[in-house]
């Protein structure tokens, strides 16, 4: 996992390992909750647009947009570092 460019997962074991290893990460959640997901520069949380909507309303484009944002930020940090 340490060589992964990005991990996309829900709230599960691999997501915790990715975050602990500082691997860029996109989490998919049913609702926003800062206790479940700590916002970090190398990560993004994807949640439904409205609180009353379920996780099944998250679109692939929502996830792809978050992935691009995290990868662009990570590339900028790696290049600058």
> Which whole-number Å values give the CA distances from 77 to 16, 18, 47, 58, 71, in the listed order?
22, 18, 25, 28, 10
Residue 81 token pair: 């570092």
Grouping H, G, I as helix, E, B as strand and the rest as coil, residue 20 is: helix
Distance, in Å, from the CA atom of 23 to the CA atom of 36, rounded to the nearest integer, reads 17
pTM over 0.95: no
pLDDT tens for the chain, residues 1 to 81: 888 999 999 888 888 898 889 899 999 998 887 776 667 778 999 999 998 999 999 999 999 999 999 999 877 655 555
């Amino acid at each position: 996992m340490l060589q992964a460019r990005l991990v996309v997962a829900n709230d599960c074991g691999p997501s915790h390992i990715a975050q602990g290893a500082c691997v860029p990460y996109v989490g998919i959640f049913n609702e926003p909750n800062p206790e479940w997901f700590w916002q970090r520069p190398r990560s993004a949380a994807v949640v439904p647009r409205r609180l009353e909507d379920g996780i099944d309303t998250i679109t692939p484009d929502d996830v792809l947009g978050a992935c691009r944002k995290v990868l662009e930020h990570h590339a900028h940090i790696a290049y600058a570092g």
